[in-house]
Amino acid sequence: MSGAAPIVRNIADLPGYLISTGDTVVLAELAGPAQGSSASVFLEIWEPGGAQPLNSHADSAETFIVLAGTGAAHSDDAVLPLGPGDVLTLQPGSEHRIVNTSATEKLYTITIMASDGGFASLVTGGTRVPLTAADLGALVSALA
């Protein structure tokens, strides 16, 4: 038996973060090193038309589970459409970004970094922003 107690957190109690000023993607840390995990798991919320900057993770695969909304995954030379129920896995070292292709609806994903590699601290070192009641409602609807 491990001596560590299980951890239960409610999404309504978690803050969101913008990694950089002017970002159009809010991330909420669901699990990561602070909870004793070597992987990190996030709720990501893209504003309509929003996008991540081009980024890469040398030592980690990254998996996105699309809960609601539509988008496009740009990875190296590939561009793939994304919609609810899609599971996208990006290989370590790929240069990628996700774009919300809707002009009116948000894009919601659960994102898993197989090896955190400092990503959770990058996120939580950003600007803290509240998750909105509409975002929490959309998440509950998507998971129902």
Paired with 62 in beta bridges are 90, 113
- Give domain status of residue 108, yes or no: yes
Query: Is the distance from CB of 42 to CB of 11 less than 8 angstroms?
Result: no
pTM for this model (two decimals): 0.93
CA 21 to chain CA centroid, Å, is 17
Total count of domains within the chain: 1
Q: Does some domain include residue 4?
A: no
Q: How do residues 19-50 score in pLDDT, each as one tens digit? A: 998 999 999 999 999 999 999 999 999 999 99
Per-residue pLDDT of 95-118, as tens digits, reads 999 999 999 999 999 999 999 989
| Domain contains 33 | yes
Question: What confidence score (pLDDT) does residue 14 get?
Answer: 92
* Residue range(s) defining the domain that contains residue 101: 16-139
* pLDDT for 140: 82
Per-chain mean pLDDT for the chain: 93
- Give me the half-sphere count of Cα atoms (radius 13 Å) on the Cβ side of residue 72: 12
Segment 7-28 mean pLDDT: 93
In a domain, 144, yes or no: no
**Residue 126 Cα distances to 26, 90, 110, angstroms:** 10, 24, 19
Residue 41 lies in a domain: yes
CATH number at residue 37: 2.60.120.10
pLDDT at 7 over 60: yes
Largest CA distance in the chain: 50
- 113 vs 140: CA distance, rounded Å: 22
Residue 111 placed within a domain: yes
Assign 1 a pLDDT band (cuts: 50, 70, 90): low
Please give the average per-residue pLDDT across 63-74, as a whole number: 97
Neighbouring C-beta atoms of residue 61, cutoff 10 Å = 15
